[in-house]
Structure 1
Amino acid sequence: MLHTETIIESHHMRGADELPHRGLKDFGFEELPFKRFVPNSVVYYCMLISYFLFETYKEDVLDGVMPIGSYATTVRRKALDFAAKIIGTGRQLILKVTQAVMDNLHFDILWQRSQKPIPIII
């Protein structure tokens, strides 16, 4: 802490501890819906589990398509909010998307990754 560079670096990194909290708030909500502690704790823990699953989805499926550090709003807007049409023919369901979605999101790669679960190694 005696060198100028160290002081400047510690000052620039002062907000880095808040980024995981910002990601969780962006994923869920800031205010809990109930007045009592127990229902609020249930909602909060469900939100934490959902946030963990969302983060693993980003790492496993969206790798290479979107940056890993993207917030939930960005992922929703780019990877989930797009126009598609579901067509049922015979025994088959077809998901039709535009060519722009296919090119920008590499949708064929995303579809293949989401169809093959990643094995859990213990």
Structure 2
Amino acid sequence: MFKRVLLVYISLFCACFFTQAQTPEIDLTQAVIIDVRTDAEWKIAHIEDVSLIPWEDIVAATDKLQLDKSKPIALFCRSGNRAGKAMALLNAAGYTQVVNIGSLEQAAERLDKPIIY
């Protein structure tokens, strides 16, 4: 148990150093796209047809959805920081194709979808 907790903390610490360029590319048309911001942030602006799961709840929520751990998952938030933390948590939980696509604006551009205000 201690080793798992330590691994999660190390992963979260390392997530601060992930950049978009360091993450593997995935086919976003095949990926589950998840906004990891808060509900309050989502109400202000969001991308159409994208799931909202706050980063702290990401592992429990993806497990509840029974996602295949090899299914591509793309995460974003306001700046990319929380998406990096969520990515580290999912990687520690055994998900193998998780990417941080950055901020809300970067995600909208990469997904070619409008931001709804």
State the TM-score, normalized to the length of structure 1: 0.23
Greater helix fraction, Structure 1 or Structure 2: 1
Judging by fraction of residues, say which structure has more strand. Answer: 2
* TM-score normalised by length of structure 2: 0.24
